Amino acid sequence: MLASLGFASSALALEEIEVKVGATHFPPYIVRPERGADTGLLPQLIEALNNAQAHYRFVLVPTSIPRRFGDFRQGRTDIAIFENPQWGWQEIEHVAVDMGLEDAEVFVTHLQPDRDEGYFADLSSKRLALYSGYHYAFADFNPDPKYLAERYNATLTYSHDSNLLMVQRGRADIALVTRSYLSDFLVRNPKSNGQLLTSERVDQIYHHYALLRPGAPITGPAFARLMQQLRDSGELLRIFQPYRISVSTPQED
């Protein structure tokens, strides 16, 4: 009997391996995690991962755009989710797992009779509203605020809502947001429907990856299998499709 209890305790311990997931403000994926908020797509994904199995327990650890690299290196987080290796991770050792999720960064302007897709072709004479710290393809992924302000006449903020409202009110010419964020914004601000023009031009495709720290308590292949399990069950579609984020099966290398 004692042996059975010991075996049960060991099994329970194996079922409760904690995996720390970095939570960076990146709406609509995660919204103000440092304030204890549990809104956004990442908390939904974490809940689905925990419900799908009993071996790992994924927990959110608040971090920030600049701090996430140090937290990852120092083991405060084990996984960075909704990332791309190009976004400042080139010199940081990691294992990348293709999540099979794609979003896109698009250009948005105030809808006016003389504006069409051609308005987005030349950014040099436009006033841009950008999110501070983000890596934009049109700027060669250089997030330096001084560079963006001087080279692209950019105003940098910490609010996509503010950027879109600046455009809507004529205080900026173009804002850049993800399709997922714009979709969420229009649901929350129905009066903005019909006032904004969205480009066919895409600044970059957000092909999302999970980046795992070397020595993390879960391996890349194990995490990929969990993602495939959610894909097969329809959970990924349920979570991401309403935000116009495409869900597909990653191509094997």
pLDDT digits 0-9 by tens, 42-94: 999 999 999 999 999 999 999 988 899 999 999 999 999 999 888 889 899 99
Which of 21-25, 34-38, 220-224 has the highest average model confidence (pLDDT)? 220-224
Is 80 exceeded by the pLDDT of residue 3?
no
Domain 12-102+207-247 in CATH 3.10.150.10? The answer is no
Contact between 233 and 53 under an 8 Å Cβ cutoff? The reply is no
Amino acid 142: pLDDT:
92
Is 90 exceeded by the pLDDT of residue 39?
no
Amino acid 140: pLDDT:
92
pLDDT tens per residue, range 111-170: 999 999 999 999 989 999 999 988 899 999 999 999 999 999 999 999 999 999 999 999
Domain 12-102+207-247 matches domain 104-205 at the CATH topology level: yes
Residue carrying structure tokens 């804002």: 175
Q: Which CATH fold would you assign to the domain 104-205?
A: D-Maltodextrin-Binding Protein; domain 2 (3.40.190)
**Rounded to 5 degrees, what are φ and ψ at 99?**
-85, -10
Measure the CA angle with vertex 43, ends 42 and 46; round to 5°. 85
Spell out the long-range contacts of 86-91 with Cβ–Cβ below 8 A and sequence spacing 24 or more. Answer: 86/135, 86/141, 87/135, 87/141, 88/135, 88/143, 89/211
Domain ranges of the chain: 12-102+207-247, 104-205
Is 80 exceeded by the pLDDT of residue 36?
no
Amino acid 16: pLDDT:
82
What is the distance between the alpha carbons of residues 194 and 107, in angstroms, rounded to a whole number?
A: 15
What is the distance between the alpha carbons of residues 92 and 171, in angstroms, rounded to a whole number?
A: 38
Amino acid 10: pLDDT:
52
pLDDT tens per residue, range 184-198: 899 999 999 889 999
Amino acid 61: pLDDT:
94
Q: Considering the entire predicted model, what is its pTM?
A: 0.78
What is the distance between the alpha carbons of residues 180 and 8, in angstroms, rounded to a whole number?
A: 44
Q: What is the mean pLDDT of residues 15-30?
A: 89
- % the chain with pLDDT above 90: 73
| pLDDT band for position 26 (cuts 50, 70, 90) | confident
User: Is the bond preceding 214 in cis, omega lying within 30 degrees of 0?
Assistant: no
Contact between 103 and 207 under an 8 Å Cβ cutoff? The reply is no
**Which residues 6+ apart lie within 8 Å of 188 measured at CB?**
none
- % the chain with pLDDT above 70: 92
Which of residues 6 and 191 earns the better pLDDT score?
Answer: 191
Closest to 225 (Cα-Cα) out of 76, 75, 56: 56
